[in-house]
Structure 1
Amino acid sequence: MVTDNGVGSGGSAGQVGGNGSCEPELSDCLKTFGAVLKALREEARLTQEQFAPLVRYSVAYVAKIEQGKRFPPRDLLERSEEVLGAVAGRVLGAAARSLTRKAGLASWFRQWAGIEEEAISLYAYECRAIPGLLQPEPYIRAIFERRLPPLSEEQIERQVTARLERQQLLTERPNTAFSFVIEQALLERHMGGPEVARQLLDHLLEQGARRNVEIQVMPLRQYDHAGIDGLMYLAETPQHEWVGYSEGQQSSILITALKDVSAMLQRYGKLRSQALGREATVSLLEQMRGAL
C-alpha cells in the first residue's frame, strides 16, 4: 500500500481531529466497493483502459478506486450505469451505500487526493514547506528523514514513491490550471542543505515554465499580507464547485461550506496580488540559485 500523508510538508493529512497513524490501513468498505466495480467491469469484458474513458476518468484514477485507495466521485455511479447497464448500476449503488467516511487520516486524505486528480483548477498557498506537488525527490527525502517519530527506511521509501506518483498530475493534466504561492522563507531555509536547495530551485524553475503552472514567491518583507490564517489549498471540480483543504499539527480538514470556501478564495486572490509576479519570481529564483 502506498499513501501520501500530507499535501505539503509530509505531515498528517486527512483527519478532522485527533491522532492518526502514518501508515493507515485501507477501509474495508472502500476495498469492497472497489472489488464490486472491478467485478462488474470484468463481467462486461472491459479492461481498465477501455472502461476509464467511457466513464470519463483516467485509467490511474479508476485503478485506485478499484484498489480501495480513493473514494468514488459522485458522478461515477451514474456514468458506470450508462456503460455497464441498469442491473450493474443497482449493484454498484448498493455497494456505495455501505461506504463510510471515517474521521481518520486515510479517508480524508484519499478524498482530497481524489479531488486533486479531477480538479480543473488547483491553488495552493504554503508557509510551512514547498507544496508536495512541487517537491523534487531530494527535498521529499529530506522531509521524511527528519520526521518525528522517526520513520523506517521502508516507510520513507513508500512515502517518497507516493509523493512522486502524485506529482504526475502536473504532466497528466495539462488542462488543469495550477497556481502556487510560496513564502520566500521556505527557500531561504535550505531544508536538507545547499545541494538539496539547489535542486529545489532548479525544479521550481522547470515546473514554473509549464504553461499551466504559475509559481509566485511571497517576499520576506510584505507589510500587507492576506495569509495570516495559514496555509490553504483550493480546488475547482469539473462541476465548477470549489472545495478547500487545510492542515495543522496532527489534523486536517476538508472545507466545503460555501461561506468558508468563498473566504478562502478571497484570501488567495489577495495573496496572488501581493506576491511577486511570474517574471519577478523567476528572476528571484535564478538569483537565489546563483548565490548557492
Structure 2
Amino acid sequence: MTNGEATTTTCDGLREPDPSDSLRTFGAVVQGLREHAGLSRAEFGELVRYSKHTVVSVELGRRMPDSSFVERAEEALGNTGALRRAARHLTRGEPGLAAWFRRWARLEREAVSLSTYECRLIPGLLQSEAYARALCDNELPPLEDHEVEAVIGARMERRRLLWERPTTTFDFILEEAVLMRRLGGLAVTRELFDHILEVASLRNVTLQVMPADSEYHACLAGPVRLLETPEGRTFAYSEGQENGRLLAGVKEVARIRRRYARLRSQALSPQESMGLLERRREEL
C-alpha cells in the first residue's frame, strides 16, 4: 500500500489520504492574508461567522471550505479576488491513495500505454477485491475499518481503467513466485486466479510470467512501472518501503525502458504464461 504519510507497500499505492496540495495551498493563502491583516484566528472566525476550529482546519488544509467561507473570507481580507481564484482549483485528497502515488494515478487515467513489472505481489490493477482485503489484513500497523474501505474503494475504482480504456495497452510481467503465494487462503487465491485469467483475456491486456528457474533477469533492481502519455512522453514509477518515486528524467526513464524491454524477452510468452496460470489454478 503506498501512502501519503508513509506506510508499507502491501496495498500498492493506497492508504488513508493526506490533505491535497490544493487544500494546503489555499489554507496557506488564507493564513497569509489573515496574518497580513493583523487578525487572530478567533477574530477572523468572528468576521466570517465560522468557529476558530474551522479556521484552523481550513488553514492546515484539512477541510474543504464551502462557498460561504470563501466569500466571507474574501470580503474580510480585502476583496483582492485571490481567494475566489484559488478556490476554483481546490480538490479533495483522493481517499485511499498515497500522497506520493497520486500524480502517477492521475497519469494512469490518461496514458496510452501502461507497463508493470512486479516481484512482490499481484499489482493493484490485477487484484480481486478479496485479495486486496487480504493485503490490507497483513498491514502493519493494522488499519482501521474506514481505512480498509478507503483502500478497497480506491483499488476497485482504479481497476476500472482496464475496461474503460480499451484503446490503452496494459502489459504486465509477474514473477512466478508471486503466483505461488497463497495470501488469504485457497478460496481467495482461486478467485484471484479466475480474475487474472479474465483480465488477461482482454484485447488490450498482455500478461507474461517470469519463470522462477530463469538464468537471466534484467530487473533485479526491483518492481517498476512505465507509462506513455498521449503526447508521447514516458514516465516511470518505482516503489519501496514507505515511499514511491515518479521518474521523469530522460536518461533515468530510458534505462528502465531498456530493462523492461529485455525482461519481456526473458519472460514466458503470453500464451505460455496463460497456460502456466491455468495449470496453477487447476492445482489449487
- Give the partner amino acid of 1:248: G
Identify the match of residue 192 of structure 1 among 159, 177, 184.
Answer: 184
2:267 is aligned to 275
Deviations 1:12-42 (Å, cap 9, x if unpaired)? 56xxxxxxxx423322625888xxxxxxxxx
SS at match of 2:122: coil
Distance 1:106 1:143 in 2: 16
Distance in 1 (CA, whole Å) between partners of 2:157 and 2:184 is 22
- Corresponding residue for 2:10? 9
1:170 aligns with 2:162: yes
In the alignment, does 2:252 pair up with 1:260?
Answer: yes
Is contact 2:117–2:173 with CA below 8 Å preserved after alignment?
yes
The separation in 2 between residues aligned to 1:248 and 1:291, in whole angstroms, is 32
Q: Does the 8 Å CA contact 1:201/1:289 hold for their aligned counterparts?
A: yes
Unaligned runs of 5+ in 1: 14-21, 34-67, 69-90, 100-104
- Residue 234 of structure 1 contacts residue 243 of structure 1 at CA under 8 Å; is this kept in 2? yes
Q: Determine if contact 1:255/1:261 at 8 Å carries over to the other structure.
A: yes
Confirm whether residue 24 of structure 1 aligns to residue 37 of structure 2: no
1:227 counterpart SS class: coil
Q: 1:143 to 1:94 in 2, by over 3 A?
A: closer
Letter in 1 for 2:238: S
Offset of 1:158 from its aligned partner? 1.4
Note if 1:158 corresponds to 2:150. yes
Q: What residue is the counterpart of 2:242 in the other structure?
A: 250
Q: Distance in 2 between matches of 1:289 and 1:253?
A: 34
- 2:107 is matched with 115
Larger radius of gyration: 2
Q: How many Å separate the matches in 2 of 1:228 and 1:220?
A: 13
Determine the C-alpha separation between the residues in 1 that align with 2:172 and 2:248. 21
Q: Distance in 2 between matches of 1:180 and 1:190?
A: 20
**2:134 & 2:188 partners in 1: Cα distance?**
8
- Secondary structure of the corresponding residue to residue 147 of structure 1: coil
Deviations 1:109-154 (A, max 9, x none): 1111000000000000000111100000110000001100001122
Counterpart Cα distance in 2 of 1:12 and 1:178:
18
Kept in 2, the 8 Å contact 1:130–1:182? The answer is yes
After TM superposition, the score normalised by the length of structure 2 is 0.71
Partner of 2:71: none
Cα RMSD for the two superposed structures: 2.8
Aligned amino acid, residue 187 of structure 2: E
CA separation of 1:142/1:27 partners in 2, compared to 1, >3 Å: closer, same or farther?
Answer: same
State the match for 1:74 in structure 2.
none
Q: Choose the corresponding residue for 2:174, options 178, 182, 186.
A: 182
Separation in structure 1 between the aligned mates of residue 85 and residue 171 of structure 2, nearest angstrom: 36
Question: Residue in 1 aligned with 2:31?
Answer: none
**Residues 249 and 12 (structure 1 numbering): CA distance in 2 closer, same or farther, change over 3 Å?**
farther
Counterpart secondary structure, 1:246 = strand
- Identity within the alignment, %: 46
Aligned-partner Cα distance in 2 for 1:12–1:168: 16
**Which structure 2 segments of 5+ residues have no match?**
27-63, 65-83, 92-96
**TM-score, normalised by the number of residues in structure 1:** 0.69
SS in 1 for 2:221: coil
